A and B are shown apart, each in its own frame.
Chain A
Amino acid sequence: MLINSVLVFLKNALPAFFLISVSASIMEPYLISMRSKITAGIVGVSGSIMLSQSMSQLSSLVDGIGSELILASLHFSIFIILLLQLLLNLNSSGGTITKPYNLLFIIGVFLVITLDGASLLIYLNGFWSSQISLNSIIIGSILGLGISLSSALLLLYILRSKLLSNWFKLPYVVFVFTTARQLSEFSLKLIQADWLPASEPLWNSSNIIQDNSELGRFLNAIVGYQTSPTLPQIIFYFTGITIPLLIIFFTNRSKPQVRL
């Protein structure tokens, strides 16, 4: 149960922490106030508690696909927030737009923690109420949380390093893929709910990198890697890549002085 708790936390907490790190890597750190960070954390935890408590009822809505629709809408909302953040960041100059910057940060963190935190709370709550293997679950959860947090901090450090950010524009490259992941997850939930048509998987790369391997989990959390995606997922994923790239392209063209 200990290892399973670590894995459950890695699966849910890692994408959330990575997303916050990638998002923070393109933002000017001094523009986000401590008050906004604390507010974002509090509203995020509150959101995940509320969602985990109501998910059982919500899940049975719309002929049993309520949870898919809620999760899909959360992924889509995060996608929109990331695009707005990108737009704001590309147009910012000298810290003149701190209010919208902080507001977007709070909304983004709220959505991310609500989405992934709710799954963790459902897991913890289930075992807490039944008092089964509590010690293993608590230790496993702390380990999983610690690994996720330290990995995300390491990622942020790497993305903010001068060499990678100045020469390869790595933060923006990763940001584009992370943004696309949200649209891919959005499509996956709608396929699972039968709101989008599905196809047979276009390929299967499990012989190269498996979904449940460490590298597979890492790549899924950061760029949305999946071994056997379907055509609708691929279409949504590439749409998710194209839109931020177009934003970057047109912002740079209209404002040549904008720093990338």
Chain B
Amino acid sequence: MNKLLLMIILLIQSAPAVAKRPVFSLTIEKHLFYPSVLIIPARTKIKLIINNLDSTPEQFDSFDLNREKVIFPKTTATIFIGPLSKGEYNFFGEFHPNSALGKIIAVEDPDVN
């Protein structure tokens, strides 16, 4: 019970740090993600900006990350991800799941920014 309360307090304390989120970018072109592998810091919430250069919408989707968002043609979308434990997290474009594939690798090294 005490551990749960401590986690809730830590969560609330972590809320105001919005402006300090590290920013990462992805581009969708010809139904492919560029880069297809994105390295981010572990245990840090990041801001991911996705730019869809295609003429069709794409849905960024990830079961590992619990995220999904439609990115409309020729527009940019923002998704906040994490904090993640060290490891690999797959994502894909739900509308083109055979080609639009990628992964996020969360690492402990703080120099990945």
Decide if A198 touches B63 in the complex (CB within 8 Å): no
Given contacts A4-B95, A199-B7, contact A188 B18 (CB under 8 A): no
Q: How far is the CA of A132 from the CA of B58 in the complex (A)?
A: 14
Given contacts A55-B72, A56-B72, A67-B70, contact A200 B57 (CB under 8 A): no
Q: How many residues of A contact B (CB 8 A)?
A: 44
Decide if B64 touches A127 in the complex (CB within 8 Å): no
Query: From A123, which residue of chain B is reached at the shortest CB distance?
Result: B95
Decide if B77 touches A200 in the complex (CB within 8 Å): no
B15: interface (CB < 8 Å):
yes
Counting chain B CB atoms within 10 Å of each CB, the highest count among A8, A122, A130, A192 belongs to A192
Which residues in chain A, 25-67, are within 8 Å of chain B measured between CB atoms?
55-56, 59-60, 63-65, 67
Decide if A8 touches B95 in the complex (CB within 8 Å): yes
Decide if B75 touches A59 in the complex (CB within 8 Å): yes
B69: interface (CB < 8 Å):
yes
B76: interface (CB < 8 Å):
yes
Query: From A60, which residue of chain B is reached at the shortest CB distance?
Result: B75
Q: B70: which of A59, A63, A64 is its contact (CB, 8 Å)?
A: A59
Q: B18: which of A192, A194, A212, A230 is its contact (CB, 8 Å)?
A: A194
Query: From B85, which residue of chain A is reached at the shortest CB distance?
Result: A200
Given contacts A4-B97, A130-B56, A194-B18, contact A119 B12 (CB under 8 A): no
Which residues in chain B, 48-75, are within 8 Å of chain A measured between CB atoms?
49, 55-57, 59, 63-64, 66-67, 69-70, 72-73, 75
* Nearest CB of A to B54, in Å: 9
Please name all residues of chain B whose beta carbon is closer than 8 Å to the beta carbon of A130 when the two chains form the complex.
Answer: 55-56
A68: interface (CB < 8 Å):
yes
Decide if B56 touches A132 in the complex (CB within 8 Å): yes
Which residues in chain A, 138-157, are within 8 Å of chain B measured between CB atoms?
none
Please name all residues of chain B whose beta carbon is closer than 8 Å to the beta carbon of A8 when the two chains form the complex.
Answer: 94-95
Which residues in chain B, 30-57, are within 8 Å of chain A measured between CB atoms?
43, 45, 47, 49, 55-57
Which residues in chain A, 61-93, are within 8 Å of chain B measured between CB atoms?
63-65, 67-68
* Nearest CB of A to B12, in Å: 6
B22: interface (CB < 8 Å):
no
Please name all residues of chain B whose beta carbon is closer than 8 Å to the beta carbon of A67 when the two chains form the complex.
Answer: 69-70, 77
0/1 interface trace, chain B 1-40, chain A, CB 8 Å (1 if under): 0000001101110110010010000000000000000000
Decide if A235 touches B8 in the complex (CB within 8 Å): yes
Q: Can you identify 22 A-B contacts, CB atoms within 8 angstroms?
A: A4-B96, A4-B98, A11-B94, A56-B75, A59-B72, A59-B75, A65-B78, A119-B70, A125-B57, A126-B57, A127-B95, A129-B56, A194-B21, A197-B12, A200-B83, A200-B84, A201-B85, A206-B63, A211-B63, A228-B66, A232-B11, A235-B8
